[in-house]
Structure 1
Amino acid sequence: MSDASVSTPVSALAAPETRDLSAGDFDVIARIAYAHAGIVLHPGKRVLVSSRLAKLMRVHSCDDMHAFVSLVANDARVRRSAIEALTTNHTKFFRENHHFQHVTQTFRPIMMDAVRARRRVRLWSAGSSTGEEVYSLTMTLLGSAPAESRAILAGDVALLATDINAQVITVGNRAQYAADGLAEIPPALASAWTERDADGFRVREEARSLVRFRQLNLLDEWPISGTFDAIFCRNTMIYFDAATTERLQCRLAEKLCS
């Protein structure tokens, strides 16, 4: 039997995997996430971070993870996109409902006194994600009694909702949610402040009119004038370390009405 050379097609020579996030590149991303957003990424998150960055690589037409990490480090626009991709946006209507019960029992009576006295009332949902928290708060304040609701809507009551992620701000402004979210809302409030649509339901315009969404990184300077009667920042600080949490708590306290 004669010898025969065996050639391998070029296409079969697989290039080394370039979409995996190396330990060194993970450390770079972790430092960036902490420095710019206060997000703490432990080594156990490496696979998750790699998956999220891989999706973003396609958006930026990049096929090499190391090169993309370098781009994140050196391009402010890409860095913002990466940080947005790494944020956690898990939320739902009336999450940890006892907080909203506290608002109903303690804060709302004080607010109604202010409304009757024609005083301003301001609230802030800091880390609002896709809007479920701030709309839960809005519905809680409005209640289901028509006379009180009308007084609130006619008064000087406003809620600010901020998040670092521009994409979730867009969702919050749209205020359209999947149908299964209705089950999370107390029936009387759902009936008063939501309406069905083809894709699920939407928060009614009257309730939406009290809310203003803005993109804001809580670690940056806050271009926010005035103070607030209440600030919700309940499920945002769990992603920060103790030092960042303490600094943020002090800054938030300075924005509360005395």
Structure 2
Amino acid sequence: MITTPPELTQAQFRKLADIIHADSGIVINEAKRSLLVARINRRLRILDLQDFGAYCQKLDGADGAQERRHLLSAITTNVTAFFREPHHFDALSSEILKPLMADARAGKRVRFWSAACSSGEEPYSLAFTVLEALPEAARHDVLILASDVDPQMVRRAEEGLYAEDAVRVLGPERSQRFMVRRDDAYAVRDDVKAMLRFVELNLHAQWPFTGKFDVIFCRNVTIYFDGEARRRLWQRFAGQLNEGGTLFIGHSERVDGPAAELFELVGTTQYRRNAVPVQTTAS
């Protein structure tokens, strides 16, 4: 028997789009309506719900907060690869890490943040680059925070298990040094994982830390935000970076708004935090 797929009314579309925007800053416009329908249809099947009206009621129900997390997971796009946009890692290796690794050897705290880590390729690429610069980094106060709004992605990243096709870009030397073969896949070595902490984190919400970072990666994320959310995030990153710290963003992004005076463009989508004080804004 052929079943007719449920229809999304305009009121339901607006309700769902408003929830997504309120929770994440992500803008869902009419051009993305079919994407929204396809992604939420999967939730309808999982939850055994008949239509979008029932799904909207669930979002308003007792377990609505938990389902809103699943909604964000369903709607977010996860496109990543090891050493994606390699010029950023080249800059890290050739310009940025030498003084930071000297700080680490001197007993100072060094912190990195992959702010939208997806399935983990970005923070692990960061870890590999750090270990190439300082093989004993794990014995120093060096830590990489890897966060994502999608709890499923955070679990996958923490597992650190990748198909052979995904690992091929690393080449044989890095693969042998940082990965171990596990059946038909590759797993990140435990001593590499020890340098990372994985957390579920919504960039649009409160951040559960106060310490500052030396390097932040947040690439190809703000392209999904509206202008206000994007400019607010740049401002918050500025407040979370040490003076002289580095922010890497996506190839089609640029720092704009009030935060622009807090950063200096020093490379291709590579910004250095300058000495201008940050005016704190509500998150």
User: Structure 2 length as normaliser, TM-score?
Assistant: 0.80
Counterparts of 1:1-258 in structure 2, within 5 Å, are 17=4, 19-74=6-61, 75-143=64-132, 148-150=134-136, 152-258=137-243
For the Cα contact (< 8 Å) 1:177–1:199, is it kept in 2?
no
Q: Unaligned regions of 5+ residues in structure 2, if any?
A: 244-283
Q: 2:5 & 2:101 partners in 1: Cα distance?
A: 59
Amino acid of the structure 2 residue aligned with 1:102 = A
Larger radius of gyration: 1
More contact order relative to length (CA 8 Å, sep ≥ 6)? 1
Q: How far off its partner does 1:186 sit?
A: 4.4
- Same amino acid, percent of matched pairs: 36
User: Structure 1 length as normaliser, TM-score?
Assistant: 0.88
Greater percentage in strand: 2
- Report how many residues are paired: 241
Q: 1:222 & 1:26 partners in 2: Cα distance?
A: 29
Runs of 4+ that moved beyond 3 A = none
Q: How far off its partner does 1:188 sit?
A: 2.8
Q: How far off its partner does 1:96 sit?
A: 0.6
Query: 1:40 and 1:73, CA in 2 relative to 1: closer, same or farther beyond 3 A?
Result: farther
1:120-144 per-position Cα deviation (integer Å, ceiling 9, x unaligned):
111111111111100011101111x
Q: How far off its partner does 1:110 sit?
A: 1.4
Q: Which deviates more from structure 2 when the two are superposed, residues 67-76 or residues 197-206?
A: 67-76
Q: How far off its partner does 1:73 sit?
A: 4.4
Q: How far off its partner does 1:18 sit?
A: 5.4
> Residue 213 of structure 1: SS of its match in structure 2?
strand
Q: Which deviates more from structure 2 when the two are superposed, residues 184-193 or residues 85-94?
A: 184-193
Give the corresponding residue for 1:3. Answer: none
> Residue 81 of structure 2: SS of its match in structure 1?
coil
